Amino acid sequence: MRGLKLYRSIGSVDPRHGLEADDDLLDPRIHARSRFRSQADPTRLALYTVHDAEAWAPATAVSEPGDHTLIVVREFRRVPLHASALVMLLLTARPGCSAPVLAALAHFVERAVSTYQPAYLLLAHSLEQPRVSALMMGVHECTALAAAKPAAFSVEGLLPELEPLLILRPEWFSYCPEPEVRALPSRLVSPYAV
C-alpha cells in the first residue's frame, strides 16, 4: 500500500515536527519513504510511504484530513533506482474534473517515460479524496543533462490545460532528506526513498 501524509511543522523547520512519535525510519513494515517540503510554504511537508497494509491501518475509522491512501494510476521504475533529484506535484481538481485531470497527467507520464527515461515516475490519486492527485518524479540529473534533457520535471506545457480544471494552483514539493541521510555526502536521495 502507498500512503501520503500532509502536515505542517509549526514553529519549527525540523521536518519531523508534526509527526507521531511512532513514525520510525527503520520500521520493517515500511518498504520505502520519501519526505518532501513545499516550495511555496516551507512549513508544509508531505511524507510518502510504501508499506504493508497493517502499517497504514488507521487507529480510528475516520482518517486525519492530511492522510491519503494512494491509488496508483501509472508507475514507472528503473531498477536499481539511481536518482539525484526527486520532486512531487500535488493537484486538487474541481468537482467533476478528476477524470480529465488524471487523463492529462497519464498522457504526460507516457510521454515523459519515452522522452526523459526517468529513474522513477508515479501518478496516483487519493482514495479518501479522489480529487487529489500526486505526480512524483525522480531522475539522475547528470544523466538527464548528458542526454540534453534537463527539463525532466517540466509540466509547464501541461499547466494551461490543467489550471481551469483545478480548484487550487498545483503545489510543487522538493525532496527533503531524513536527518540521518543528510550526513551522507555521496547520496542526495535516501536509499529508503521511493
- Name residues whose C-beta falls within 8 Å of residue 1's C-beta, 6 or more positions apart in sequence: 50, 51, 52, 53, 55, 56, 69
CATH architecture of 2-182: 2-Layer Sandwich (3.30)
Whether 50 contacts 2, CB under 8 Å: yes
For 45, counting Cβ atoms within 10 Å of its Cβ (0-12 exposed, 13-18 middle, 19+ buried), the class is buried
Model-level pTM? Answer: 0.78
Top pLDDT among 191 and 159 is at 159
All three cell numbers of 103? 487523463
Residue 163: the pLDDT is 95
How is the chain split into domains, by residue range?
A: 2-182
Q: What is the pLDDT of residues 50-104, one digit of tens each?
A: 887 765 555 444 456 789 999 999 998 876 555 667 889 999 999 999 999 999 9
Place of cell 467533476: 96
